[in-house]
Structure 1
Amino acid sequence: MNSSSASISFTAYGSLHRYKAALLVCISVLYVSCLCVNLLLVLVIWLDSGLHRPMYVLLVHLCLSGVAGSSSVCPHVIRHLLADRPQSSLAGCLTQVFFINVYSGCMFCILALMAYDRYVSICKPLLYRSIMTPAWVRLLLLLVYLSLGSSSAVQVVLISRLRLCRHTVDKLTCDSLAVAQLSCESSPVVSVFGLCTAVWMVLCPCVLVLGSYLHILLVLLRSSRASQVRGLQTCTPHLVTFINFSSASFFGVIYNRLSDRVPEAGLVLTYVNFFIVPPLLHPIIYGIKMQEIRQSVKKMMKRKIIQM
C-alpha cells in the first residue's frame, strides 16, 4: 500500500511559466465570481419561501455541487501557480479525485432529476404535487449523494492500494486516470470499476434526460400554442445547462485520453471549461431565464432600498 505522505509532482505547470501571472488573476477572478453567483442564487431561493419547490430545491443542490467542484480544483491550481515546485501529497491527490468524481456525478444526476421534474410538471400536471413531494425529492437527493459518495470512495480505495513507480503527473490536477497510470502495473479491477462508475454516473442520467424530453416534446406537439411557449420557457434553462455541462464533460474526456498531445492553452481551457464555466454559467442562466427568480431578486432589492 502507498504511503499517504508520498508526493506527487505536477510537471504541466513548467510549460505555463510565461502565463502564470495572467492565469493566476484569471482563475482567481473566475473562481470568486463562481462562488458569488452560486451562493447568491442559493440565498435568494432560501430567503423566498415561494421558491421552496422541487425545481428550486434541485437548483440549490446544482449550485452547491458546482461550488464543491470548482473548490476541489481552483484553490489547488492557484496554490500550484504560486509554488516553485507544484506538489501534492498522495492523500491530498486522492481526496481531490474523490471530490472531482462526486462533482461530475452530482451534476449529471441532479440535471437528470431536474429533467424528471419538468417531465412530471408538463406531462402529468394534475399529479405533480402528489409525485414530486418534498419527502420524495429529499429521498432522491439522498440516494444520489450516498451512491456517488460510496462509489467514489471505493474507487479511491482501489487506487490507493496500487504500488506507484512514478510520481509525476503531466496535468494541472489529480484525477483517477492520472493516478492509476502512475502504478507499476495495470489493474483490471480499477479499470473495470472505473468504467462501470462512469456508465452509472453519465449514461444513466443522460438516458433519463433524453427520455424525459422526448415525452415532453410529444406532449407539447399536441398542445396549444400558448402551452408550447410556456413549456419551452420552463425547459430552456435546463436544456441549455445540460448541453453546456455535457459538452464540457465530452471535451474533458477527450483531454484525459489525449493529454500528452494537448497544447498548454488547451490544457488550461479544458480545466476552466469543466470546473469553472458550468458552475459560473448555470446560476446566471437560471437567474436570467426564470421569471420567478428575477421577480424575487427585484423584491429583495426594493425591500433593501426601502430599508435604507
Structure 2
Amino acid sequence: MENSTQFMSFVLSAYGNIGLLKYLYFAIISVLYMAIVFANTMLIVVISMERKLHQPMYLFLCSLFVNELYGSAAVLPFLMVQVLTNTHVVPAHYCYLQIFGIYTYASIEFCNLAAMAYDRYVSICYPLQYHVIMTSNRVIMIIMLSWIYSFMNITFTMYSSVSLPKCGNIIDKVYCNNYSLVKLACSDTTVNNYGGIFGTFLSVVVPMVPISFSYIKILSICLRSSKETKQKALRTCTPHLASLSNFFFGCWFEILQGRFDMTHVPAVLRIIISLYFLVCQPLFNPVLYGFNLSMIRQQCKTLFLKKYPIQG
C-alpha cells in the first residue's frame, strides 16, 4: 500500500513513437468508423421504418446493430484523437467510462447472440407455434433484459477494480482495459481476479448456455428431418454462427493477450488483435446480415433507391 494513490489520469504506452504514420492510421480509423456508422445506422433505419421487418429476428438484429454503434463509439473516436496526440494521456474518469462501454458492449453482444439463437431454435423446432411463443412483448422484454443484465453485471465487476489503490498509471494498450487497471494495483488483487472471472462467466458462459442448448436441439431436429428442412436450417443459422464465431475468437484473442506475455509478438500485431472484436464485428454483422438476408436487401433498395424500380 506504500506510495499508492488514485491517479487523475493514465498514460497509454502502446502507441509508441509512430511519427508521420499517425496521419495514415487516423485516415484508416476514420474510414472504418464512418463505414461502421453508415452501415449499422442504415440497417437500423430500414428495420425501424419497414413494418414488414417488425418481426422477432429483425428486432433482435436491430438491437445487435445498435450495440455495434455503442461499442464502436466507446473506442474509435477516442482512438482517432489519441493517434494524433503526442502525450496519449487519458483522464481517469474517461478511462473508467471507456472500460464500462467496452465491457458492456461485449456482454450485450453475447446476450443478443443468445437471444437470436433461441429465436432460431423456436423457428426451426416449433414453426407452427413460433408467433405464439415469440410475441412482440416477449421479444422486447428479452432485448431489454439483455441490456439491463449486461449493465448491472459490468457495474458490479468494475466497482472493485476502480476503487483499488494504484502504484502506477501506465497502461500498455491503446485503450483502457479493466485487467490493466488491476495489474497497476498495490494491494492484494485476489478478490478482483476472482471477481473478474465471475464477471466473465456471467458475460460469456451464461449466454453460451442457451446458444449451446438451441443448436443441440436444432441439430437433433435436422438429423431426423428432410433435406429441405436441413437446407432451411443451414441458411437460417449460418450467418448467426459466423457472427458468433467471429466475435468469440476476437474476445478470446484479447483475453489471451491480457493474461500471457506477448512481448515477442510485434506491437502492431498486438494492437490489431486487441482491436479485432471492437472493429471487425461492427463491420462484419451489417455485411453478413445486410447482404445475406433477402428481405433486408429488398427493403434497402425500396427505401433508398425508389427512383430505380426493383425488378421482380
Q: Which TM class, normalised by the smaller chain length?
A: over 0.9
Partners in 2 of 1:68 and 1:241 — Cα distance? 17
Note if contact 2:161-2:178 (Cα within 8 Å) is conserved in structure 1.
yes
Residue 303 of structure 1: aligned partner: 306
Give the alignment of 1:197-276 within 5 angstroms: 197-258=199-260, 260-261=262-263, 262-276=265-279
Higher helix proportion (structure 1 or 2): 1
Shift of 1:302: 4.3
Q: Deviations over 1:103-128 (max 9, x none)?
A: 01011110010000000000011111
Corresponding residue for residue 277 of structure 1: 280
Partner of residue 99, structure 2: 97
Check if 1:64 corresponds to 2:50. no
Taking the aligned partners of 2:150 and 2:282, their CA distance within structure 1 comes to: 19
Q: Shift of the alpha carbon at 1:2?
A: 6.1
Alignment partner, residue 195 of structure 2? 193
Aligned structure 1 segments of 4 or more residues deviating by more than 4 angstroms: none
Counterpart selection for 1:54 from 53, 56, 65: 56
Residue 14 of structure 1 corresponds to 16
What is the Cα deviation at residue 259 of structure 1? 5.8
Partner-residue secondary structure (3-state), 1:303: coil
TM-score, normalising length from structure 1?
A: 0.94
Q: Residue type matched to 1:264 in 2?
A: A
> Which 10-residue stretch deviates more, 211-220 or 80-89?
211-220
User: 1:29 Cα deviation (Å)?
Assistant: 0.7
Say which is worse superposed, 193-202 or 216-225, in terms of deviation. 216-225
Give per-residue Cα distances to partners, 1:67-95, cap 9 Å, x unaligned. 11111011111111111100111111111
For 1:115 and 1:156, the matched residues in 2 are separated by 28
Distance 1:35 1:159 in 2: 31
Query: What secondary structure, in the 3-state scheme, does the structure 2 residue paired with 1:73 have?
Result: helix
State the shift of 1:260 in Å: 4.8
Residue aligned with 1:8, SS: strand
SS of 2:181's equivalent in the other structure is helix
Q: Are 1:9 and 1:87, in contact at CA under 8 Å, matched by a contact in 2? A: yes
CA distance in structure 2 between the aligned counterparts of 1:176 and 1:154, rounded to whole angstroms: 12
Task: Tell me the distance in 2 between the aligned counterparts of 1:226 and 1:208.
Answer: 25
| CA distance, structure 2, for counterparts of residue 75 and residue 209 of structure 1 | 32
Q: Is the 8 A contact 2:153 2:203 kept in 1?
A: no
Q: 1:208 is aligned with what amino acid?
A: P
The letter for the 2-side match of 1:162 is: L
Q: Which amino acid aligns with 1:293?
A: I
Aligned to 1:148: 150
Deviations 1:102-154 (A, max 9, x none): 00101111001000000000001111111111111121222222221112112
Alignment of 1:119-130 (within 5 A): 119-130=121-132
Deviation (angstroms), 1:221: 2.0
Q: Confirm or deny: 8 A CA contact 1:8 1:168 kept in the other structure.
A: yes
Aligned length: 305
CA distance in 2, matches of 1:269, 1:286: 24
AA at the equivalent of 2:268: A
Distance 2:23 2:305 in 1: 40
SS in 1 for 2:16: helix
Counterpart Cα distance in 2 of 1:39 and 1:163: 41
RMSD: 1.7
Q: What residue is the counterpart of 1:45 in the other structure?
A: 47
What is the rounded CA distance, in whole Å, between the counterparts of 1:110 and 1:180 in structure 2? 28
Is the contact made by 1:15 and 1:264 (CA closer than 8 Å) also made in structure 2? no
Q: CA shift at 1:277, angstroms? A: 0.5
Equivalent pair of 1:237/1:290 in contact (CA under 8 Å):
no
What is the aligned-residue identity percentage? 32
**Aligned partners of 1:92 and 1:2: how far apart in 2?**
18
